[in-house]
């Protein structure tokens, strides 16, 4: 499985707040609709990570206002996201919408998904933590 994460920065000096409702009701459907219309590609899953906050438990310290994640079964389907932004009209439509809901241009990153087994990971954790604690105590 492959994913495109679209991350929306939360600039410290922003005068505009991120408009989640516009993102969910307009921008996400527009992007997915253009992807489907231009390439016949339909993502297998959509996720939106919002209401972000940082270490001080406020949005002001969060690096990003929102991260939209679009999942695909194949790399070639995920790559159509890049292809879409190489097309003048779809890129223009999407970019023209950005100022309507976000104070900063988004950043996209694509990659493959590794699904880890929780029990196996917890079993490995025992050894890893013991080793880390020995190394830490030996300092």
The rounded distance, in Å, linking the Cα atoms of 110 and 16 is 27
Q: Is the separation of the CB atoms in 24 and 48 below 8 Å?
A: yes
pLDDT, one tens digit per residue, over 8-47 is 999 998 889 999 999 999 999 999 999 999 999 999 999 9
User: What are the tokens at 69?
Assistant: 């994640």
The rounded distance, in Å, linking the Cα atoms of 66 and 23 is 9
pLDDT, one tens digit per residue, over 37-88 is 999 999 999 999 998 999 999 888 899 999 999 999 999 999 999 999 999 9
**pTM (predicted TM-score):** 0.88
Nearest Cα to Cα of residue 20 among 103, 109, 108: 103
Domains of the chain: 2-114 (3.30.70.100)
Number of Cβ within a 10 Å radius of residue 94 = 16
């Amino acid at each position: 499985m492959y994913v495109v994460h679209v991350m929306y920065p939360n600039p410290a000096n922003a005068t505009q707040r991120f408009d989640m409702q516009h993102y969910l009701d307009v921008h996400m459907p527009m992007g997915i609709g253009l992807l489907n219309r231009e390439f016949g590609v339909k993502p297998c899953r959509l996720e939106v990570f919002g209401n972000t906050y940082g270490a001080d438990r406020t949005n002001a310290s969060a690096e990003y206002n929102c991260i939209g994640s679009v999942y695909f079964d194949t790399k070639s389907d995920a790559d159509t996201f890049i292809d879409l932004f190489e097309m003048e009209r779809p890129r223009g439509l999407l970019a023209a919408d950005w100022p309507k809901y976000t104070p900063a241009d988004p950043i996209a990153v694509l990659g493959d998904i590794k699904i880890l087994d929780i029990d196996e990971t917890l079993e490995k954790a025992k050894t890893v933590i013991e080793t880390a604690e020995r190394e830490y105590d030996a300092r």
